[in-house]
Amino acid sequence: MVAKKIEELEKKAKIKFKNPDLLQTAVTHRSYLNEHRSYHLEHNERLEFLGDAVLELVVTDYLYQNYPNPEGELTNWRAALVNKDMLSRVSRELGVEDFLQMSRGESKDTGRAREYLLANAFEAIIGAIYLDRGYDEAKKFITENILSRLEEVIKSKLYIDPKSNFQEEAQARAGITPNYRVISESGPDHDKKFVVGVYLEDEEVAQGDGNSKQQAQREAAKAGLEAKGW
């Protein structure tokens, strides 16, 4: 996998870096350095550490300033906005995957590990923006790419674990506790894929897939909520 030129990512992020090396570092995975010993930059883990803190502060401040809700609700909303699933999704939509610098082995892994890599790179990009352009630019980037999802999070109840949500709805509407069954299992041990069905008694409501049974169950529950219109 040959990464695209970093200038293209600047355009996608709508930020012109004073030091483009910071952005390049943000998309450099540790594994890339193992195969390219003469590479002139470090990997992105320190930037990820910084970006994670900036992201949490911006989201927390926004929720505190704009919503009088109890602390527990705000915590759940924040978790839904900054978890790995959301960050990897936004990262993919920005096209970050095309710019990742990683080893040949990592580039072949398209499972759950790739989602984590994308999420971590997104946090590292935030860290790079903060160092290069300051807090206000980092806040603007987070507002456009993460806080813009808050309405969807609240409307679709993404802050509630989909399994818990589906169970509550199933018990309230049908008086039935859902159950999950593994339909298929494939792939090598390091990149398993599970397909799981969610059932109301013997009725299969929906299926979901993932790189663990737990992830597949969550995806099945999400699909079940949509299928039932809950």
Q: Which sequence positions are flagged as catalytic?
A: 52, 123
**What are the C-alpha distances in Å from 132 to residues 18, 137, 161, 190, 210?**
6, 9, 36, 37, 37
CA distance 94 to 198: 32
Q: Which amino acid is at 209?
A: D
Distance of CA 19 to the CA centre of its chain: 26
